[in-house]
């Protein structure tokens, strides 16, 4: 079932979405990056569903998908998943460098 949300607010943190990149676009980039680092973890990542289907605003990259969760909240979920999967300190640290949407330095740890 597809849910609706108030456009412009993240469904997790309830803050304004200032970088409206959808989870699908970010996932594609993370998958490509992970595939170079650890193929097994990348394949598990591809199967994992981090967010539910919700009808929201347009993604600035693909225009087709919805942007209902801010990139920070989405990448925070991926970060914690990588840690639970024991992806390795090098991968986790590099993930923070490459996919860091924590501009205010208030999370991820």
Tell me if the pTM is above 0.85. no
- Is 107 contained in some domain? no
- Is 103 contained in some domain? no
* Total domains present in the chain: 1
- Is 32 contained in some domain? yes
Q: Give the range of the structural domain holding residue 36, as residue numbers without chain letter.
A: 3-98
Which tokens go with 56?
A: 């929201």
pLDDT on residue 96: 87
* Greater pLDDT, 64 or 53: 64
Cβ-in-10-Å burial (0-12, 13-18, 19+) of 72 comes to buried
Mean pLDDT, residues 59-80 taken together: 83
- Is 104 contained in some domain? no
Cβ-in-10-Å burial (0-12, 13-18, 19+) of 16 comes to exposed
- Is 79 contained in some domain? yes
Mean pLDDT, residues 57-63 taken together: 79
List the single range of 15-24, 30-39, 58-67, 89-98 with lowest mean pLDDT.
58-67
C-alpha–C-alpha distance, residues 5 and 8, integer Å: 9
Confidence check: pLDDT of 41 > 70: yes
pLDDT band at 30 (very low <50, low <70, confident <90, very high): very high
Mean pLDDT, the chain, whole residue set: 81
């Amino acid at each position: 079932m597809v849910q609706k949300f108030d456009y412009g607010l993240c469904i997790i943190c309830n803050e304004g979405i200032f970088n409206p990149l959808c989870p699908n676009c970010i996932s594609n980039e993370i998958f490509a990056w992970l595939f170079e680092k650890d193929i097994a973890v990348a394949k598990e990542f591809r199967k994992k569903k981090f967010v539910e289907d919700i009808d929201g605003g347009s993604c600035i990259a693909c225009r087709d998908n919805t942007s209902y969760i801010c990139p920070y909240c989405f990448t925070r979920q991926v970060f914690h998943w990588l840690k639970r999967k024991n992806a390795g300190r090098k991968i986790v640290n590099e993930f923070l460098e490459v996919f860091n949407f924590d501009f205010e330095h208030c999370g991820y740890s």
